[in-house]
Amino acid sequence: MKKTIRILSLLICISILLSACTVNLKRKAEVEEEIYEDKYDVIDKGPVKGGTVRLFTTPVDTLNPILTNNIYVQDFLGLMFEGLYALDYMQQPVPVLAKSSALSADGLTLTIYLRENIKWQDKMPFKPEDVVFTINTLLDTKISSIYSKNVKFIESATAGGNNAVIIKLKQPYSFIKNELTFPIIPVHHFVNEKVAEKKSKANLNPIGTGPYRFGSYNEKTGVKLKMNEIWWNAEAVDSEADATGTTTTTSTTTNSISTNPDKNNPAEVLPYISTIEVKVFSNANSANAAFQARDVDVLPAQYVEYRKYIGRTDINLKRYAGRNYEFLTLNIKKGPLLDKNLRNAVNYLIDKKQLVESAASGIAVPAEIPVQPNSWVYQLVNLQQNDISKAKTLMSQSGYVLDAKKKYVKKSGKKALSLKLIVNDDNTLRYNTATQIASQLGKNGIAVEVVKLSWEQLQNTLKSGAYDMALTGYRISSIPDLSFAYSTAEIQTGLNTAGYSNPAVDGYLQQVLAAKNTEAQKSAYVNLLNTILEDRPYIGLYFLNDSMMYSKNIRGAVNPHIWNKYNDVSKWYLP
């Protein structure tokens, strides 16, 4: 596998959150929760048509979904625009505008067959040329788009026969369907228009294929969307699900998008909600105040923001594992943790469920590896759990015994085992977590000194190796490629914070990225995960939860997940 994959995978697919922002989480017992009456309840007689749901955004930069840099604009434009694929609850790409696909034997040509009879919201037919136009726009180096990274392995795209798009790849890439989740824009809408001009007439009057269509836009008051009466998916039918998150083989497979992670996708209906009103606020804090004042019906929120809403009966709060992953970087170059048996013993002694409850106030999900806990990748191996008995066995194998004071010492000496755990001083959550880890290990015979450092000092200490453990974090990508943390090529960049290097692991990472079928990729993943868990350069702790908060008048299928905040929006209704 070319070195290009590893470097681009680093620069684009993932960003590290070693310092992050200051996070203050107090214990549950310290939270004073008000009691709210259920006076906002109404009789729910089942789904009904009509009504308006109010969302929010900060100032709109453009209404072109591939040009906007505003995450809130990206979210609500997802109600208007669709991609060839979308990521489901288990991080698998499922077809949306695509119907089926075929991959050439050499893994360099992917043919995407599009669904028939799809119309844009101006009633023009959806065609392969629209997909080609979108891809070429993203390939244009003069265009600045958050989705430019999605086409980094695409050499070219052309329209083919049988309503197909032919995509030539620079090299085999197993996650190409995960990348083809960007919104498709219509070529006919930009005739005589410059796509790059964010405030052009075409870019402020968008046309999509999704369940809602553009109504109006006012820079000060916001955007109005209306139900798309000609939405193609209102006539969708069941069909077999696609294989997995990898590309298909040379045979063609028909698929349909799944909007429910637990059930087969039934035939859709037109959205129940007739109008979406997106209000403009100067910042997220103003939107939060509007939600409390009941001027906004839906509010995405991270753990610091939504925690004060826990326990309230006048809203519907849905939590899910977010992208922020917390873990321990272990010093595998010198000191006691040079011994991998000891590293694994420490892992077994940490009770991550208890850690989540005590340090993270219960608003996190225990995790072993930097992959979404719901991801299909996470299900491939049996991940290790808190096990004091196994820890004792490993400690013994490493030459440690418990002395009379129940402290671990080397059989050949009397000095108690002690570890230095560093953490950045501007992150209260991490400090609380560090002290809880120290407490857990201390009760099991391993003394831990927690040292708070400035962000700059922590970075320098990581480089110097004057530590045993460091509490750090990643913000993970939508592509479950683990190269950023475990590839030798990532040591110099700083993402591989442990400086871990194993030629076998490098090979498995390459096999995962270049696999041409599902079984080959799964096999490579199993070998990869088993090896890195045995070598143990890191100890995974948890993913922090994000949430969506809803007014109680919103009913129906409210099933947000990290890859789709407004999942199942067509099934919401107002009783």
Here the tokens at position 6 are 């590893």
- Sign (positive or negative) of CA dihedral 535, 537, 542, 545: negative
Q: Are 179 and 98 in contact (CB under 8 A)?
A: no
What CA–CA distance (Å, rounded) separates 130 from 133?
Answer: 5
Q: Would you state the structure tokens that stand for residue 225, as one six-digit string?
A: 């969307």
- Is residue 374 helix, strand or coil? coil
CA distance 408 to 35: 48
One-letter amino acid at 21 equals: C
pLDDT digits (tens, 9 = 90+) for 311-365: 788 889 999 999 999 999 999 999 999 999 999 999 999 999 999 999 988 889 9
Q: Is the pLDDT of residue 239 over 80?
A: no
In which band, very low, low, confident or very high, does the pLDDT at 306 lie, cut at 50, 70 and 90? confident
Tell me which amino acid residue 151 is: V
- Residue listed under structure tokens 């809803």: 550
pLDDT (tens digit per residue) in 277-291? 999 999 999 999 999
Strands 52-57, 275-280: pairing kind = parallel
51-68 average pLDDT score? 97
Asked if 536 contacts 344 with a C-beta cutoff of 8 angstroms, the reply is yes
pLDDT digits (tens, 9 = 90+) for 448-480: 999 999 999 999 999 999 999 999 999 999 999
pLDDT at residue number 238:
36
Contacts 24+ apart (CB under 8 A), 35-42: 35/313, 36/312, 36/313, 36/314, 37/313, 37/314, 38/313, 38/314, 39/314, 40/314, 40/551, 40/552, 40/553, 41/552, 42/553, 42/575
CA 168/CA 184 separation, integer angstroms: 18
The predicted pLDDT at position 40 comes to 53
Spatial neighbors of 307 by CB under 8 A, at least 6 apart, are 25, 31, 361, 363
The three-class DSSP label of residue 386 is: coil
Torsion of CA 470, 473, 474, 475, to 10 degrees: -170
Q: According to the model, what pLDDT value does residue 413 have?
A: 76
Domains, the chain, in order of start with CATH, read: 36-297+553-573 (3.40.190.10), 322-481 (3.10.105.10)
pLDDT of 37 over the 80 cut: no
DSSP-derived pairing of the beta strands 469-475 and 418-424? parallel
Q: Beta strand pairing status for 418-424 and 447-453?
A: parallel
> From residue 67, how far is each of 64, 71, 153, 258 by CA, in Å?
5, 11, 20, 27
Write the pLDDT tens digit of every residue in 515-565.
999 999 999 999 999 999 999 999 999 999 999 999 999 999 999 999 999
pLDDT at 43 over 80: no
Between 48 and 274, residue with greater pLDDT? 274
